[in-house]
């Protein structure tokens, strides 16, 4: 049976501030999607991470289905009504258009979808992160699918031994390139180490071309042409029998690494793996969180979720993340805690630069003439 697994997420209002979601909003979104169960969709589940809500749906309509995207849009619109009634923070912020035009891509919500022939047993993991960006998946996807020190299956499992191919998207040009590993591993790393430019969109198994992983790659800042909120990402990864084991998929998260997107979308911070209940970033609006929801797909039904980071084996990663957070917070507004200036394009930085534009001079030319007087300028 060919099944499509669609995960569509949006921030439609924060409770309180940008820290979490409100149960009434989540309930309304769930109600709308559940009404479609057995009709448009086979099954559904709702996940939350920080101030974002993800709708997980199974169906047989393929990726980019107008009906499925329309259903998610309607659910988010209905949830937004509740968020507005409660005057939640940034209510409806990711519904950037007043009307749905067939596909949520480019409108604001993040989308990760894949279609596959359901295997005799089909374990999948849905990752969902807040206060970060789609490039947060670059490092773990490399480790899961191209690093034998992380994924023993690359060496041991015959179906994985030929490696995996990565589809990498340049978020500025919108163009993508497919890179095959292990042959072109260093080419892959040359690209995906540039986290503000390149993001992994899909991963395919070389053995037979099967889809192995897919991630949302929408960048709200670029969609709207200005900074309107962050592009907190979702990702689907298939597990076991020819794909990495669940434990190999989770392993990269056992050691936190630094991602962009903390406070005001303008800071780097450690990605902390947490249980569903602890995915409520509060300290300095963070640090960035990630949850992992495991499902067994059974004739399209979602058996789960299993809260995979709700495991003391990830306590150490959480502790490490807190230590890294402290070290970075010591930097305050200074890089490398704060993002480099090119990444601050949609903030007040251009205004500051504009204000000071005519006051820059060559210190060599005016040697001995500067007496300390300061011209005043307006910030607008
Ligand atoms: C939003 C986020 C937050 C906000 C911050 C300021 O996802 O990460 O850190 O950027 O709370 O929010 P505003 O500008 O809405 O007051
Ligand atoms: Mg928000
Ligand atoms: Mg968010």
Three-state SS annotation for 209-245: CCEEEEECCCCHHHHHCCCCCCCCCEEEEECCCCCCC
Closest atom of ligand 1 to 17 CA is 11
Q: Which residue's CA lies nearest to atom 4 of ligand 1?
A: 264
CA of 33 to the centre of ligand 1 (A): 28
Q: Reply yes or no on whether 230 is catalytic.
A: yes
How high is the pLDDT of residue 23? 98
**pLDDT one-digit tens code per residue, 322-347:** 999 999 999 999 999 999 887 776 67
Strand partners, 273: 290
Condensed to tens digits (0 to 9), the pLDDT of residues 170-184 reads 887 888 999 999 999
CA distance 276 to 8: 18
SS3 annotation, 340-368: CHHHHCCCCHHHHHHHHHHHCCCCCCCCC
Probe residue for ligand 1, chosen from 87, 93, 94, 265 as the CB with the greatest number of ligand atoms within 8 Å: 265
Contact 146, 164 (CB under 8 A): yes
pLDDT in tens, 72-97: 999 999 999 999 999 999 998 888 77
Minimal-distance CA residue to ligand 1 atom 15: 90
Which ranges of the chain does DSSP label H, i.e. alpha helix? 23-35, 66-85, 138-146, 153-156, 185-192, 220-224, 246-250, 262-265, 315-329, 349-356
Q: Which of 45, 201, 230, 232 is catalytic?
A: 230
Please tell me which residue, 228 or 184, carries the higher pLDDT value. 184
Among 219, 255, 236, 8, CA closest to 133: 219
* 208 catalytically annotated: no
Looking at ligand 1, which atom is closest to the CA of residue 262?
8
pTM above 0.75, yes or no: yes
Alpha carbon of 236 to ligand 1 centroid (Å): 26
* Cα(205) to centroid(ligand 3), Å: 31
Using 50, 70 and 90 to split pLDDT, how confident is the model at 228? very low
The closest residue, in CA terms, to atom 6 on ligand 1 is 264
Q: How many CB atoms lie within 10 A of CB 30?
A: 17
Residue 182 tokens read as 């292990």
Q: Distances in Å between the alpha carbon of 216 and those of 82, 134, 168, 232, 334?
A: 26, 6, 12, 9, 30
102 has pLDDT over 90: no
Q: What is the pLDDT of residue 224?
A: 47
Distance 341 CA to ligand 3 centre (A): 22
Q: Is position 98 annotated as part of the catalytic site?
A: no
Quote the ligand 1 centre to 347 CA distance (angstroms): 12
When the pLDDT of each residue in the chain is averaged and rounded to a whole number, the result is 92
State mean pLDDT over 39-63. Answer: 98
pLDDT > 90: percent of the chain: 79
**144, 247 Cβ separation under 8 angstroms:** no
Give, for ligand 1, the residue of 9, 11, 14, 17 to mutate: max count of ligand atoms closer than 8 Å to Cβ: 17
Task: State the average pLDDT over residues 29-55.
Answer: 98
Instruction: Report which ligand 1 atom has the smallest distance to the Cα of 50.
Output: 7
- Contacts for 81 with CB less than 8 Å, ≥ 6 apart: 28
Q: Take atom 2 of ligand 1 and give the residue whose Cα is closest.
A: 264
- Give residue ranges with CB within 6 A of ligand 1: 17-18, 131, 229-230, 263-265, 285
- 101 falls in which pLDDT band (50, 70, 90)? confident
pLDDT at 150 over 60: yes
Highest mean pLDDT among 63-67, 197-201, 228-232: 63-67
Q: Give the position, in ligand 1's atom list, of the atom nearest the Cα of 261.
A: 8
State the DSSP H helix or E strand holding residue 47, giving kind and residue range, or none if neither: strand 43-49
Per 3-state DSSP, the chain is made up of helix, strand and coil in percentages (nearest 5) of 30, 30, 45
Angle, alpha carbons 72-221-45 (nearest 5°): 25
């Amino acid at each position: 049976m060919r099944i499509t697994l669609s995960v569509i997420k949006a921030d439609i209002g924060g409770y309180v501030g940008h820290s979490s979601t409100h149960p009434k909003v989540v309930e309304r979104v769930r109600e709308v999607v559940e009404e479609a169960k057995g009709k448009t969709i086979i099954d559904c589940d709702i996940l939350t991470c920080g101030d974002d809500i993800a709708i997980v749906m199974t169906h047989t309509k393929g990726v980019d289905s107008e009906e499925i995207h329309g259903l998610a849009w309607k659910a988010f619109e209905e949830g937004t009504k509740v968020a507005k009634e409660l005057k939640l923070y940034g209510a409806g912020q990711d519904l950037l258009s007043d009307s749905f035009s067939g596909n949520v891509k480019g409108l604001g919500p993040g989308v990760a979808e894949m279609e596959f022939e359901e295997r005799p047993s089909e374990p999948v993991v849905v990752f969902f992160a807040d206060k970060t960006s789609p490039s947060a998946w670059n490092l773990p996807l490399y480790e899961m699918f191209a690093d034998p020190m992380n994924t023993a299956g690359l060496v041991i499992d015959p179906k994985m031994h030929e490696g995996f191919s990565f589809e990498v998207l340049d978020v500025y040009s919108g163009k993508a390139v497919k890179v095959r590993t292990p042959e072109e591993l260093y080419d892959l790393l040359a690209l995906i180490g540039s986290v503000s430019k390149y993001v992994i969109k899909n991963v395919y198994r070389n053995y037979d071309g099967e889809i192995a992983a897919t991630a949302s790659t929408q960048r709200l800042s670029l969609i709207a042409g200005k900074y309107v909120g962050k592009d907190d990402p979702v990702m689907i990864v298939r597990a076991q029998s020819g794909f990495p084991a669940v434990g190999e998929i989770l392993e990269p998260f056992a050691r936190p690494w630094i991602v962009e997107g903390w406070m005001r979308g303008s800071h780097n911070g450690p990605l902390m793996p947490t249980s569903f209940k602890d995915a409520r970033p509060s300290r300095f609006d963070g640090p960035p969180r990630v949850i992992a929801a495991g499902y067994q797909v059974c004739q399209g039904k979602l058996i789960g979720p299993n809260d995979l980071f709700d495991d003391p084996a990830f306590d150490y990663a959480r502790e490490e993340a807190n230590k890294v957070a402290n070290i970075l917070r010591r930097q305050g507004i200074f890089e490398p805690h704060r993002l480099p200036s090119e990444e601050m394009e949609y903030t007040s930085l251009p205004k500051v630069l504009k204000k000071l534009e005519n006051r820059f001079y060559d210190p060599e030319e005016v040697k001995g003439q500067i007496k300390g007087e300061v011209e005043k300028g307006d910030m607008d």
